[in-house]
């Protein structure tokens, strides 16, 4: 016992050094570890918020039909009923936010329709697809088809009763 406490000074010095070490560790940890690190896991909790805090480019169908309620009506029962607005019209969150600021552009039907309906052997065989030139020459697709309901009968005065056979 006396052997141990005979060198009390050494013990105190060691304890002091240890104490300084602990304090230095805590200070460094507080300085170096970013805020929120470890709250949910081995990452900054704030990163979740940062990932969320970005503007959207596509408004989503619900926002479109708030004003354009006539379009779902026109698409009803048609082959394009399940296609959402921005699939063809492009990102329009800016338009949904302020209709005056950004206007939707009418896409070129020869380009737009071909993206899905130009014949391609890799497409599922049951998906309606045509050789564009053979099918329509240089005509715009919208000359015969209504984009919102492509197989609907042609309105009076427009060419082409559309053959609905063979597309299934």
Partner 1 sequence: MNQDRREFLARSGKLLLLTGAAQVAFEAVLRGEPEAAPNYRTTDHWWAMTIDVEKCIGCGNCVRACKEENDVPREPFYFRTWVERYHVPEGDIEHPEVDSPNGGYDGFPEKYRSGDGSKSFFVPKLCNQCAHSPCVQVCPVGATFESPDGVVLVDKTYCLGCRYCVQACPYGCRFIDPRSETVDKCSLCYHRITRGLTTACCETCPTAARVLGDLKNPKDPIHEFLRAHKVQVLKPQMATGSKTYYNGLDGSVR
> Considering only residues 13, 18, 25, 49, which one is a binding residue for partner 1 as defined by CB under 8 A?
49
> Considering only residues 104, 116, 151, 154, which one is a binding residue for partner 1 as defined by CB under 8 A?
116
**From 3-11, 115-123, 137-145, 151-159, span contacting partner 1 (CB under 8 A):** 115-123
> Considering only residues 1, 32, 121, 161, which one is a binding residue for partner 1 as defined by CB under 8 A?
121
User: How far apart are the C-alpha atoms of 10 and 7, rounded to whole Å?
Assistant: 6
The distance of closest approach from Cβ of residue 23 to partner 1 in the complex, given in angstroms and rounded to an integer, is: 20
**From 18-26, 96-104, 114-122, 150-158, span contacting partner 1 (CB under 8 A):** 114-122
User: How far apart are the C-alpha atoms of 89 and 83, rounded to whole Å?
Assistant: 11
> Considering only residues 122, 133, 156, 161, which one is a binding residue for partner 1 as defined by CB under 8 A?
122
> Considering only residues 34, 97, 99, 153, which one is a binding residue for partner 1 as defined by CB under 8 A?
34
Size of the residue set binding partner 1 (CB under 8 A): 46
User: How far apart are the C-alpha atoms of 7 and 83, rounded to whole Å?
Assistant: 85
**Which residues have a Cβ under 8 Å from the Cβ of 44 and sit 6 or more positions away?**
34, 35, 36, 37
User: How far apart are the C-alpha atoms of 131 and 137, rounded to whole Å?
Assistant: 9
SS3 of 72, please? helix
User: How far apart are the C-alpha atoms of 15 and 59, rounded to whole Å?
Assistant: 64
Say if residues 79 and 149 touch (Cβ distance below 8 Å): yes
Q: Which of residues 68-107 bind partner 1 (CB under 8 A)?
A: 80, 82-84, 86-88, 90-91
List contacts with partner 1 (CB under 8 A): 34, 36-58, 60-61, 80, 82-84, 86-88, 90-91, 114-116, 118-124, 127
């Amino acid at each position: 016992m006396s052997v141990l406490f005979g060198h009390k000074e050494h013990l105190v010095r060691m304890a002091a050094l240890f104490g300084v070490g602990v304090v230095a560790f805590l200070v460094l940890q507080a300085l170096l570890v970013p805020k929120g690190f470890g709250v949910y896991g081995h990452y900054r909790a704030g990163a979740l918020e940062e990932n969320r805090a970005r503007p959207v480019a596509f408004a989503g169908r619900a926002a479109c039909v708030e004003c354009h309620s006539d379009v779902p009506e026109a698409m009803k029962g048609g082959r394009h009923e399940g296609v959402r607005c921005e699939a063809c019209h492009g990102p329009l969150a800016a338009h949904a936010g302020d209709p005056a600021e950004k206007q939707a552009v009418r896409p070129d039907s020869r380009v737009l329709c071909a993206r899905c309906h130009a014949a391609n052997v890799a497409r599922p065989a049951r998906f309606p697809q045509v050789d564009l030139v053979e099918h329509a020459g240089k005509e715009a697709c919208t000359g015969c088809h209504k984009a919102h309901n492509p197989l609907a009968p042609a309105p009076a005065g427009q060419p082409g009763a559309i053959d609905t056979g063979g597309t299934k």
